Structure formats: structure tokens, C-alpha cells
Structure 1
Amino acid sequence: MNFDLRTVNVTRYITPLREGGSLPALADADDDFKYVLKFRGAGHGVKALIAEFLGGQIAKYLGLPVPELVFATLDEAFGRTEGDEEIQDLLKFSQGLNLGLHYLSGAITYDAAANDCEALLASKIVWLDAYITNVDRTFKNTNLLIWKKELWLIDHGAAFYFHHSWNNWETTALTPFALIKDHVLLPKASKLDKAHQEFTAKLNNDILHKIVDQIPEDWLQWEEQDITPEEIKSVYTQFLTSRLANAELFLKQAEDARKTLI
């Protein structure tokens, strides 16, 4: 599988998509498509982009429905005419390489009370989120869309939460991930073991290394920590490979959490 992403140039900032620290936005690019842009100048900076990139690439490899990811370049002059000072600052601090998700025009937010999700797909999404320690796919904020009558996964920027402190990643890699109890699809995830068998057979250390290796060098210059880009990549790779090797830990946590719901 080819893990390379296309690179587009952002041509027009259209509108912010929701309130909050990350301030994603809808924008046009020079390939005549619209994208949901995630900005390096937002709250969690490049670490949120790395989480989005890794989560999206792993999901894509596993055959889960995710919008196309692209690298999105913001020119130095971009946003100078923006009237909102907060947005102008965001664009100024986001010059260079950002991340875009293909915009699913007309999509609606998944509602667990109104929308269904087939048991195996629900189980696969729960497994993925437990694997990448994604804390943000809850009833309050599903990060799921219905587009053309199909379910799509968006927004993995809150995954890999260990990297915000960069301490004890070895311990986090082996956590059962108790927060899976809040997952919006857990009540529907009755085939967790089948999802586990499929995904642990499909993922391997070589694939994970290739995905991590595609993180742009530009996102690995961390001033707050004395660590090289190669060392950063090595930690992400070790985190993912260790977590995969011990996947029974978070599988059992998810299964036990589900038993309390049914």
C-alpha cells in the first residue's frame, strides 16, 4: 500500500467550522476541491496534526472509511486580508505544511439515537480508538459523519495523548485504556473479538514503521523538548508496535466495559 499523501496549496479560507481551540476551517485548494483544514498554529500544534495523520493512515490501511488526507501548504501571504484577528493570527502561525481532510459536502453528524451502525464496523472503530488511545469519539462528540448513507470517521487529533507530556510513553503503550467505556459505538460493538483477529493479523511492525516514517520532518522540530526527529519517530513506532503486541489488554478492557452496558 502506498502511504504517500498528495500535497495541495490552500487558495481560499472559507469559514471556521466550529468553536474551540483547534479552529478547523473549510478551505479551497488549487486542485479545485474543498478541505477541512487542521492548522499547525492551533492549540496543540503539530502534535495534533501528527495524531490526525497517524490515526487516519492506520484507519485507511485497515479499510475503515476515512476522508482522503492531504498535506496542505499555506503561503506566507495567506490570510493577510482576514478580518478576524484570532483567525488572522492562526493563519500567520500556520504558514507552511498543514493537514487537510477531503470535505464531505452535505454530511451530517452521526447520532447514536437516530443512526445505526453495523456490529462489525462498530467493533472495528472501537478497536482502532482503543489502539490509538483516541479519547474523543463519545456521545458528546462523536467525530463520525453520515455521508451518502455511509458512516465516516473524522478527527483523530485527540489520539496519542501521551505525546503532550512525552513522559512514560512505555506505560501508556500498555494501558488497557479505561476511557473506552465512553465510546459512542461501544453498545453496538458485539464483534470485538472478530475485529481484533482481523486487525492484529493485518497490522505488523513493518507497516507501522512505514506509516510513522511518512510524518513530515517539518512537524518534528520540537523546541520544547531536546529530541531529534528520528528519536520522535522511533517513540511513535515503539508505542504502536508495543501496543499491537499487547492488544489483548485493551480488547479485554473494551469487552468488560461493554458488559456493563448490556
Structure 2
Amino acid sequence: MPGVEGAERGADQPGSEPGLSRVPARAAPPRHAVLVHGAGGGGWEWELWAAALRAHGIDVRAPDLQPAAAGLAATTLDDYLDQVRDWIAAAPRPRALIGASLGGLLAAACAEAADALVVVNPLPPAPWATRLPQRDWPDVVPWRCDARLASTRRALADADEAAALYAFRRWRDESGAVLRAAHAGLGIAAPACAVLCVASAQDEDVPPALTLELAQAWGATPLQTLTPSHVGPLLGRDAARTAAQVARWLSAR
């Protein structure tokens, strides 16, 4: 995909904002957005994005994914998908789904109910999922129990100390069954709505080449940022700028 100089790279045309020229026509820009967080996180991850979206007149909901009644170990990918479907169905149209990491996969799987989709370093569906780094997931992934500030700083190398401390205090444990199913590959159709795929330049969890390949296969707008980390687009030093660009993409007519 063509590159441009600056913080983001994408397919540009004269007079357009870097990386955001391919904005498919739609009847009206979304006025409501549902934001879906990633594994081990929560709606708190989206605070900078929520502010940027609201500044552009977009109402925001960023709920927390809830474990099944039988507990986290018994929670499945379908449990999370059902929640996301309920959230987007409750949002007035025109509406957008925005998801990061695992939340990106969940959002893409529910995109038939959305008027626009934004995925940020998403866990890719099949067949791309087979190219993710392989890991063994226990029934409960102890990200809250094993959280350390030092490891959080390493994971958020592009964030300031306040953001690292904020995240460290809020990580949560995750369902291993959900992550095993996601990494096995979820079969989903290419979304029919307008799609923006955001990729970190040096993401070690979801290689940016996978996200950009997914964008090409879906006919989506690619936006590659220079933020290095997997969660940097949400919590890094440049997160507010990235969020503002996404808000402008959603608001474009």
C-alpha cells in the first residue's frame, strides 16, 4: 500500500488527510458509536477516544465485556459476541462499531448491524488468524493476578508513566477459552459497511502486515501509525491524535 510521510501511512489523494482518503460514501456519518475493548481490559481503555468522538458530535458507549454466570473459565467467544450484538442493536442509527484487539474481532463479527466499522490492531479472522504468534492459554489467563507495573511499562513503551499506572491498576483476568477460539480463527464475511483498519507500526501481538493485508482484502481504509505497541493507539502518547483522525474519518461525508 502506498506510504506517506508523517505519523500515519495509507492510501492518499491530493488534498486529503494522510492515511484517510479512502472514505466510502454513505448516507450519513455515524452519530453513535459502540467501543469494544480487548482481552484483559475494559471500557476504561477508550477514555481518550471517547473524548475525541464526542468532540465530533458522536455519542459513545464503551461497556465492559462480562463473564458468563458460571465464571470466567466457562466464558466463551459466543458469550462476548452476544453482548456486542446487544450493544450495537441498542445504539440508534447511523452507528459505528469500534474495537481493539479481541474487541476488533468481536466488532468485525457483528458489523452487519453497523454503518461503519473501525478495528484497531484486531485479532484477525480466519484464515489470517493462523499467522498470529502461537501461545498456550490457561482456562483463566491471570493478567490481573500477575500484573506488575514493570511489565505494564514494557507493554506500553510509548505511554507516559501516568497512563502505565492507570492501566496497571485496571487490567483484568481473561477467559482462556475465548482467546483459544479467537486464535483458532473465526470465520466471518467481509463487512459491507465502510471499514477503517488501524495498525501499530511494531505490534508484536498482531503484526501490522496482517492488519494491512486484512484491510486490502476487505477494501478497507488502512491507517498505519508509528506508535509501536499493541495498545499504543488507545493509551500511548499519540493516542489522542489517532482518535481525532478516526473521529474525522467517521464524520466525513
What TM bracket, shorter-length normalisation? under 0.3
Query: RCO (CA 8 Å, sep 6+): is it higher in 1 or 2?
Result: 2
Of structures 1 and 2, the larger Rg is shown by 1
After TM superposition, the score normalised by the length of structure 1 is 0.26
